[in-house]
Structure 1
Amino acid sequence: MLNDRQKAEILFANERFYAAFSGGDMTAMDSLWGSDGPVCCLHPGWEPLMERNRIIASWNAVLQAPPPIVCAAPSVLPLGEDGAAVICWEGIEEDYLIATNIYRREGGMWKIVHHQAGPVNGTPPTSAQPPQNNRVN
């Protein structure tokens, strides 16, 4: 089971993912993806990407003109001691997607190994605030 510090680290990794996404930061995006095992990315409307080099190439294309994306209401679901899923809402202007981001610990860092976003009905809970740029340590 994950402790509170580990959950905070995972949420921080998720914040870094969305900062790279919204900021068009390809160097950061590349550094956030796992490299020690299987990875998967399912962009809405794209074919499944199951190889790291194809995933990074896809982000290179997306980040040429990144959407004004905001992550809202992230929730951590533990997946053992070295893994967790973050379920969150992706706000793009007036529309929302629901996303699943799976993280695995690699070399002491939480790396994203799966990203999937798709259409959803509704909006995030009204109490949800976009993540703050808080440091874990």
Structure 2
Amino acid sequence: MSAPHTDVEQVEAANTAFYEALERGDFEELSSLWLTPADLGIDETYHDPADAGVISCVHPGWPVLTGRGEVLRSYALIMANTDYIQFFLTDVHVSVTGDTALVNCTENILSGGPAPDGDGELGPLVGQLVVATNVFRRTPDGWKLWSHHASPVLAENDEAEDDDTPS
């Protein structure tokens, strides 16, 4: 595949890199994909990095996490407690305005932990459907995540419309 040329292609590549790093459990790579104060030209000597260019993340069912420390700690915990995770992204839509990009997608997630008998085998895989919004900022080093917000899909629209419950 050739190198991405347009902003949309570059954002798609950054979005894919985020999910691939998470699948591999590559914490260093995942960390490098998130916005830093230095990416915004902020001197951390004079500004609290937690307040500068604050990144945020909402995992399904979690409260909002803000700042690099909280966000990256959450991913370290997820990686430490998940033996297997794979994302199949569908309904991916990218929009770019200036130095900001928005990616909306559906995360079709397969994950698993250790087997219940502790024999080192992977336990049963669990599927989860999640909708996500990823916000990216352009930096001198390329597009980096500014915010990730994911929410579980509890019911399909078709099922809700077929409900016989009176309104």
Same fold by TM-score, threshold 0.5 exceeded? yes
Kept after mapping to 2: 8 A contact 1:22/1:70: no
Once the two structures are TM-superposed, the CA of residue 39 in structure 1 deviates from its matched residue by 0.8
RMSD: 1.7
Deviations 1:8-38 (A, max 9, x none): 0000000000101111110110000001312
CA distance in structure 1 between the aligned counterparts of 2:141 and 2:79, rounded to whole angstroms: 27
Kept after mapping to 2: 8 A contact 1:83/1:105: yes
Kept after mapping to 2: 8 A contact 1:42/1:48: yes
Whether 1:58 aligns to 2:74 is yes
Map residues 113-128 of structure 1 onto 2, 5 A cutoff: 113-120=146-153, 121-122=155-156
Letter in 1 for 2:134: N
Kept after mapping to 2: 8 A contact 1:18/1:70: no
TM-score (norm 1): 0.79
Structure showing greater Rg: 2
In structure 1, the partner of 2:107 is 90
Whether 1:35 aligns to 2:20 is no
Once the two structures are TM-superposed, the CA of residue 74 in structure 1 deviates from its matched residue by 1.3
Q: Structure 2: 5+ residue runs without aligned partners?
A: 38-52, 111-126, 158-167
Once the two structures are TM-superposed, the CA of residue 41 in structure 1 deviates from its matched residue by 0.3
Pick one of 68, 71, 82 that aligns with 2:86.
68
Select between 47-56 and 65-74 the one with higher mean Cα deviation. 65-74
Q: Percent of counterpart pairs with the same letter?
A: 31
In structure 1, the partner of 2:116 is none
In structure 1, the partner of 2:6 is 5
Deviations 1:50-92 (A, max 9, x none): 11111011111111215222222311122x2100110011011
In structure 1, the partner of 2:18 is 17
CA distance in structure 2 between the aligned counterparts of 1:16 and 1:111, rounded to whole angstroms: 10
Q: Structure 1: 5+ residue runs without aligned partners?
A: 124-137
Once the two structures are TM-superposed, the CA of residue 42 in structure 1 deviates from its matched residue by 0.5
Whether 1:103 aligns to 2:136 is yes
Once the two structures are TM-superposed, the CA of residue 122 in structure 1 deviates from its matched residue by 3.5
In structure 2, the partner of 1:135 is none
Moved over 4 A (4+): none
Classify the secondary structure of the residue corresponding to 1:99. Answer: strand
CA distance in structure 1 between the aligned counterparts of 2:85 and 2:149, rounded to whole angstroms: 16
CA distance in structure 2 between the aligned counterparts of 1:51 and 1:38, rounded to whole angstroms: 5
